[in-house]
Chains A and B, each alone.
Chain A
Amino acid sequence: MTSYYRNAIDDPPLLRAAFTTMAVTFIGLFLLLPLVTVFWQALGGGLDAVWDAITSHDALMAIRLTLLTAVITVPLNLVFGISAAWAIAKFDFHGKSLLTTLIDLPFSVSPVVAGLVYVLMFGLQGWLGPWLRDHDVKIIFALPGIVLATLFVTVPFVARELIPLMTDQGRAEEEAAISLGASGWSTFWRVTLPNIKWGLLYGVLLCNARAMGEFGAVSVVSGHINGLTNTMPLQVEVLYNDYEYVSAFAVASLLAFLALVTLVLKSFLEWQYADEIAATHRH
């Protein structure tokens, strides 16, 4: 085929083919193949085996704990993310760059360290351990610890998504709203929030995916009590270490399925509301 139109930035066809092949091969080998393997392995023992594995008592408890953790941490991150992004993007204050850096901390710190920090604070040998024990409050090896560790790891997702968006949009629209007589609250609901809702949704979806999938930090604080403090990722590891491959892959594939649902949901929303998303970016 001869192309009659050539763009100034067109690369030679050979180079283009090479880059495309490289990208496709890389994604295929390192992302797609492992994912397919997970489902393949899970289904190796037949659908019944998968069903039995994910409806066993321990698995159901793990699913419940994972969903519960996500239900608690995602809304908290939503509120924190909006407040932090709002403050950073719309106001100047002392310590702003420090706050921006701190929000990124969970991205750079190993999740295991995050988990250990909570053990050091709330564990029996930790600072608050004796006081907590005397008052019969359980944090480590219980739901609160798991929520805290997950929260630490997922803090950046919503804020990171919103900060560039809100900075880019500036504060002119908010100023216009206030000079037209709107209260701060009404400005937020009518002007700020509608302008960021797509970025916010994206951040929430990513945050949710991470909250359900976190392993390292949760592993340290959970205590791995079967049917009690094991989340789905931990359950997968326990099953795998017990040589229960079919069950391990069954739970793993459920986890992978939840992640895929997240991605599909995101793509669907982007496709459905493409016009509106374009409109809320700078015209």
Chain B
Amino acid sequence: MPLAVDSIRKRFGTYPALEGISFTAPQGAFIALLGPSGSGKTTLLRILGGLEFPDDGFVRFADLNWLTVPVRERRVGFVFQHYALFRHMTVAKNIAFGLAVQSRRERPTRQKIKQRVEELLSLVQLDGLGGRYPSQLSGGQRQRVALARALAIEPRMLLLDEPFGALDAKVRRELRGWLRGLQERLGITTVFVTHDQEEAFALADLVVVMNKGKIEQYGIPADVLRVPQTRFVADFLGGGIVGSPHK
């Protein structure tokens, strides 16, 4: 299921959030939207997830006119920046949510849901924590619950909004390697938003560098690093990566 984003525009009042975003990515790609805050990357992610609608443009995914598919039917696994776990539900209930709200015809039996939750808990390495409440978990654990909840609906696309933003450096490094491995195993097309270039280049197959609602550069990490195409990209990358030509 390749992803094709074509000329997406979005304004909030008079503020132009996205000014013609276009790129394509093959099925199963891990795509990083990289840019400073206010560059429109989260807006783009929310448009892909169906939580926001563009004023203009086109998205093709899974052989569908993606923007016309209602949120509920997109089967998008969305991991929110602060996880947005249901705070009044246990971890197990959180993970089961997407299955429990299906129509009676499609819903798996209670036994099946329970089994699926167990599988997901062990997939995200949280065996035995199903009875806890989100407030009783650490940041890294909550993040993994959010991921398990998103994976429960067998998503066609995985969307991650600053997935490691709220975690400390050590946990962040562990989790992202693990997440990348998991994504490769499952083969789900994944888009993630980050302002951390090291993270983007370490994880992604494709990097979209964004600034002020426009794409500054798009390509595989090695190319973007080796040949920054605009002044902005050069300056933006100049700050961090070891071995960058502009360091």
**Which residues in A have some Cβ–Cβ distance to B below 8 Å?**
172-173, 175-183, 186, 190-191, 194-195, 276, 278-280, 283
Contact A279 B133 (CB under 8 A): yes
**Which residues of the other chain, B, contact A186 by a CB distance below 8 angstroms?**
101
Q: Known contacts being A175-B51, A182-B72, is A194 close to B88, with CB within 8 Å? A: yes
**Which residues of the other chain, A, contact B74 by a CB distance below 8 angstroms?**
179
- Closest Cβ–Cβ distance, residue B106 to chain A (whole Å): 9
CA distance A279 to B90 in the complex (A): 11
**Which residues of the other chain, B, contact A280 by a CB distance below 8 angstroms?**
87-88
**Which residues of the other chain, B, contact A195 by a CB distance below 8 angstroms?**
87-88
Which among B76, B84, B85 has the highest number of chain A CB atoms within 10 Å?
A: B84
CA distance A279 to B91 in the complex (A): 13
- Closest Cβ–Cβ distance, residue B183 to chain A (whole Å): 18
**Which residues of the other chain, A, contact B23 by a CB distance below 8 angstroms?**
none
CA distance A191 to B152 in the complex (A): 18
Query: Which of B72, B75, B88, B134 interacts with A276 by CB under 8 Å?
Result: B88
**Which residues of the other chain, B, contact A278 by a CB distance below 8 angstroms?**
135
B80 within 8 A of A: yes
Contact B76 A179 (CB under 8 A): yes
B9 within 8 A of A: no
B102 within 8 A of A: yes
CA distance A251 to B133 in the complex (A): 48
**Which residues of the other chain, B, contact A178 by a CB distance below 8 angstroms?**
51, 71-72
- Closest Cβ–Cβ distance, residue A200 to chain B (whole Å): 13
Contact A283 B135 (CB under 8 A): yes
- Closest Cβ–Cβ distance, residue B231 to chain A (whole Å): 36
- Closest Cβ–Cβ distance, residue B2 to chain A (whole Å): 22
**Which residues in B have some Cβ–Cβ distance to A below 8 Å?**
49-51, 71-78, 80, 82, 84-88, 97-98, 101-102, 133-135, 149-150, 152-153
- Closest Cβ–Cβ distance, residue A170 to chain B (whole Å): 8
CA distance A183 to B73 in the complex (A): 10
- Closest residue of chain A to B77, judged by CB? A179
**Which residues of the other chain, A, contact B49 by a CB distance below 8 angstroms?**
179
Which among A172, A176, A183, A278 has the highest number of chain B CB atoms within 10 Å?
A: A176
Contact B71 A176 (CB under 8 A): no
- Closest residue of chain A to B135, judged by CB? A283
CA distance A279 to B133 in the complex (A): 8
**Which residues of the other chain, A, contact B78 by a CB distance below 8 angstroms?**
175-176, 179
Q: Is the interface of A mostly helix, strand, loop or mixed?
A: helix
CA distance A280 to B80 in the complex (A): 18
CA distance A43 to B44 in the complex (A): 71
**Which residues of the other chain, A, contact B98 by a CB distance below 8 angstroms?**
180-182
**Which residues of the other chain, B, contact A180 by a CB distance below 8 angstroms?**
97-98, 101, 149-150, 152-153
Q: Known contacts being A176-B80, A279-B133, A283-B135, is A183 close to B72, with CB within 8 Å? A: yes
CA distance A280 to B82 in the complex (A): 15
Which among B98, B134, B150, B152 has the highest number of chain A CB atoms within 10 Å?
A: B98
- Name 18 A/B residue pairs within 8 A (Cβ), A-sorted: A172-B82, A173-B85, A173-B86, A175-B80, A175-B84, A176-B78, A176-B85, A178-B72, A179-B51, A179-B71, A181-B102, A182-B72, A183-B72, A190-B86, A190-B97, A195-B88, A279-B87, A283-B134
**Which residues of the other chain, A, contact B51 by a CB distance below 8 angstroms?**
175, 178-179
Contact A190 B71 (CB under 8 A): no
- Closest Cβ–Cβ distance, residue B236 to chain A (whole Å): 28
CA distance A179 to B46 in the complex (A): 10
- Closest Cβ–Cβ distance, residue A184 to chain B (whole Å): 9
- Closest residue of chain B to A194, judged by CB? B88
**Which residues of the other chain, B, contact A179 by a CB distance below 8 angstroms?**
49-51, 71, 74, 76-78
Contact A181 B84 (CB under 8 A): no
- Closest Cβ–Cβ distance, residue A283 to chain B (whole Å): 4
Q: Nearest 9 pairs between A and B by C-beta?
A: A172-B84, A180-B98, A283-B135, A182-B101, A176-B84, A179-B78, A194-B88, A181-B72, A173-B84
**Which residues of the other chain, A, contact B84 by a CB distance below 8 angstroms?**
172-173, 175-176
Contact A283 B149 (CB under 8 A): no
CA distance A195 to B84 in the complex (A): 13
CA distance A183 to B77 in the complex (A): 16
- Closest Cβ–Cβ distance, residue A100 to chain B (whole Å): 20
